[in-house]
Amino acid sequence: MKKPFLFLLAAGTLLWSSCSLPSDVFEKDVVIPGHQWATSFKPHVDFTIAGADTADRYNIYLVLRHSDAYLYNNIWIRGTVQAPGDSVPKSQRYDLTLATNDKGWLGSGMDDIYEHRVLIQPDTKFTKPGTYSFTLEQIMRDDPLQHVFNVGVRVEKAK
């Protein structure tokens, strides 16, 4: 009776540990209140780099979810990054193409919801350990910008 139990316990532990290996991916999305992204609402995401990870390179993606009712083929977003120990944040504007007239929406879709993962900073090196703060701001002419569900940041180790 004890041997089958111990075998199942050992097999379960091995299976569980193989499924819970550390991931090389960080992703955090922020819900846009009422699916109306006001210019005053600036989603904030924190990402922490350990000291050993400063030698690695990363790809940074902007993640956006919207409905089929979104009115534009693109979105303008200002991304601001505050590095640990820096007193001045660095900002950059991004014009993200979400659709073309030929192909329609470029992201993956289910029903009328589309998700886009757009590479904005390839092969990036975080030179200081600590917490990096990302702030995202929509800078389109519409205020609020309708039919946007979530926005976020994805950071993964470059291969």
- 138 burial (CB, 10 Å; 0-12 / 13-18 / 19+) is buried
CATH number corresponding to 23-157:
2.60.120
Using one digit for the tens of pLDDT, what is the confidence trace for 4-54? 544 444 444 444 433 333 457 889 999 999 999 999 999 999 988 877 677
pLDDT tens track for 56-109 = 899 999 999 999 999 999 999 999 999 998 889 999 999 999 999 898 888 888
Whether residue 78 contacts residue 62, with contact meaning beta carbons closer than 8 Å, is answered with: no
Indicate whether this model's pTM tops 0.85: no
Residues 138, 150 contacting (CB under 8 angstroms): no
Paired tokens of 12? 């379960």
